[in-house]
Amino acid sequence: MEKLPKIDEFKTPEGYFEQLPDKILDSLQPRRNLTWVKYAAVVLIFLSAGIWALAPFDQENIELTFDQEVNLYIDSQYWTAEDILSMADNPNEILEQIIEEEYPESELLWEEDQNWF
């Protein structure tokens, strides 16, 4: 250790730390004022909402037949099979119609001819 050269203490120039904050602030770029962008965005939102609300709709394309509307309720799982049967005047008739659509008579007759013991 004795052979290593001695290092003088590190010294800062006088007033260095007092001037440092000013130097840092001077080197920064000035911030842009973007408040007009916020106001423009709000105006755009209100304009687009107003145009959308006042736009005429073509009612012919929106109206659905009763069957289409029922199918939408079923497909969205808003109505279950039990709900539909409870609303029907004759639920047995609906069940028979479903069975006829799912299993044609030819398949039912073929199964009846088989001996399943």
* 10-residue mean pLDDT series, the chain (117 residues): 75 86 82 82 90 73 75 84 81 83 66 56
Measured between its terminal Cα atoms, the distance across the chain in Å is 105
Give Cα separations from 95 to 75, 77, 83, 90, 102 (angstroms).
18, 19, 13, 9, 11
The confidence score (pLDDT) of residue 74 equals 82
Task: For CA atoms 95, 96, 100, 105, give the dihedral sign.
Answer: positive
| In the block, residue with structure tokens 């120039």 | 13
- Helix, strand or coil for residue 60? helix
Integer-rounded Cα radius of gyration of the chain: 41
DSSP character string of 3-59: TSPP-PPP-PPTTHHHHHHHHHHHHSPPPP--HHHHHHHHHHHHHHHHHHHHSPP-H
pLDDT of residue 45: 92
State the pLDDT at residue 44. Answer: 93
Question: Residue 69 to residues 18, 72, 78, 113: CA-CA distances in angstroms?
Answer: 77, 5, 12, 40
Q: What is the pLDDT of residue 111?
A: 55
